[in-house]
Structure 1
């Protein structure tokens, strides 16, 4: 091997080892919660390797963690969160102290500055994109949360799912991993309340543009229509999902439910019977109870 090439390889490997040492040290300091030492290390790291991908991730983690602040609320009623009752001299409650969390906007802005810079420089780093999406979900900025998810889906199609993760390592089964994570984000929106249905729909429609046989997204799309009372549109997606996975118990049960809500007893009974036949014990018992109601 020519000496010049060998020297280049040695320099490259030394740089990678150097960056790994910084990352390892930073992760240790995170566990120790030593923010002063974290800050000092980040400054040293930036001087040594200002374009290191892991540096952008570290800065993001540093500022996002720093932005999260504990808040104590005083209220007249118990809001359901863990709280401490304040009582008067007779022992009667006069108020409740409860803990919550908020975020410092200036520190959040710094966190997003660094992760955006990292994403711009390392387009294929999925961990950076998912880190940003996670943060947006935590601060309940669901519009940006949704837009970032859609951007990631669009880019995944362009990249043919060739994503990398931390330390620029290629993901195994990237498409399966990616779609699984997207489904988790949709569930997060669902749990946030019915005002997120249109955002769930946008994500499902974007996934289906590139993966028209993605049963989970067909089901998600159906849920958004069903919860808004549009049972025909819900059934349109669910019956399409059934053609792809005819023995999927969740799909069959959802079809039965949509027919029941629509008032179509014949088809509701048909699909609850299929659900009872193919489902596990719990699902079967629930379907049997529905069949008793519908047949009475």
Structure 2
């Protein structure tokens, strides 16, 4: 649901509130649900205003919609074609639809990337790119797109632009929360690339060096990499920023369990049992039973 909301916001927020003819016309096209029929209009807009940031967003949305419309045949599940009402469709026809869809998606990304190259602080463009790439897969392009947001944020100090180049300010909590949604998706992948989660978290930490969420990410990555001793300082530093965070304490306890320092681990588990909510205290009690 979150992905759809973000993409739709790109559509809605990319319309112009000011008296700019092309933007107003595209607003009407969107409101009428005719974006898929707007190719000629968009081509004229591109010729007339080749550097208009809203034009790039409009073309991104157009080709994104077209890419989704091109593949309405059988669906794939683990490489297997799931039967549909039209079972007579051939595998070659399915693959043709997939290839056409992919080429249109790539085109949508090219327009958004070009828009970002000209409008380096347009956060809606960055979000549109990263979110749609995430829909496709957690791959090199997606990871690179997330890194580009983090790197730009360190340059502009959280001072971004949105639709119509309206200025917005992202606080530390807001920005880290946004990046964390991408990091969570990376953590939850079937074969997570821990090294890239670590890289992104470290990049963001350069701007927000005491952020407990980023510190926790790095600590968890260390645990996943078997670097238990190295994980501890990150969890401890995170607790200095947010002493009430129970996840940090549970992760610290886990690090000490892995290091066979059971008495130290019990201190943290007992703290969570005494001070955490039912979910965390219940988890701590279960772990204590296993290690005692």
TM-score (normalizing by structure 1):
0.78
Q: List structure 1 segments (4+ residues) > 6 angstroms apart after TM superposition.
A: none
Distance 2:74 2:289 in 1: 50
* Pairing 1:137–2:134 present: yes
253 and 15 in structure 1: CA distance in 2 versus 1, 3 angstrom threshold: closer
Give the aligned length: 263
Deviation at 1:109, TM superposition (A): 2.9
Maintained 8 Å contact 1:165/1:171: yes
Name the stretch that deviates more: 105-114 or 126-135. Answer: 105-114
Question: 1:96-115, aligned counterparts within 5 Å?
Answer: 102=98, 104-115=101-112
* Pairing 1:124–2:121 present: yes
Distance 1:146 1:282 in 2: 32
34 and 145 in structure 1: CA distance in 2 versus 1, 3 angstrom threshold: closer
Deviation at 1:49, TM superposition (A): 3.4
Counterpart residue number, 2:92: none
Deviation at 1:120, TM superposition (A): 1.6
Deviation at 1:174, TM superposition (A): 4.4
Maintained 8 Å contact 2:160/2:168: yes
Maintained 8 Å contact 1:213/1:241: yes
SS at match of 1:192: coil
* Pairing 1:184–2:181 present: yes
Maintained 8 Å contact 2:172/2:208: no
Question: 1:57-68, aligned counterparts within 5 Å?
Answer: 57-68=57-68
Distance 1:191 1:269 in 2: 28
Find 2:281's aligned residue among 273, 280, 284: 284
Deviation at 1:14, TM superposition (A): 10
Gaps of 5+ in 1: 1-12, 86-100
Counterpart residue number, 2:253: 256
Describe the superposition over 1:272-295 as per-residue Cα deviations: whole angstroms up to 9, x where unpaired: 111112211121122122223333
Q: Considering only aligned residues, what root-mean-square deviation do their CA atoms show, in Å?
A: 2.9
* Pairing 1:205–2:202 present: yes
Question: 1:1-296, aligned counterparts within 5 Å?
Answer: 16-29=19-32, 32=33, 35=36, 37-68=37-68, 69-70=71-72, 72=74, 102=98, 104-140=101-137, 142-295=139-292
73 and 173 in structure 1: CA distance in 2 versus 1, 3 angstrom threshold: closer
Describe the superposition over 1:152-202 as per-residue Cα deviations: whole angstroms up to 9, x where unpaired: 212211111110111212224444332211111101111113441111011
Distance 2:81 2:272 in 1: 40
109 and 242 in structure 1: CA distance in 2 versus 1, 3 angstrom threshold: same
Distance 2:148 2:104 in 1: 24
Describe the superposition over 1:53-76 as per-residue Cα deviations: whole angstroms up to 9, x where unpaired: 1110010111123223245268xx
Maintained 8 Å contact 2:219/2:235: yes
TM-score (normalizing by structure 2):
0.79
Distance 2:148 2:190 in 1: 23
Deviation at 1:148, TM superposition (A): 2.1
SS at match of 1:263: coil
Gaps of 5+ in 2: 1-15, 85-96
Maintained 8 Å contact 1:219/1:251: yes
Distance 1:73 1:165 in 2: 35
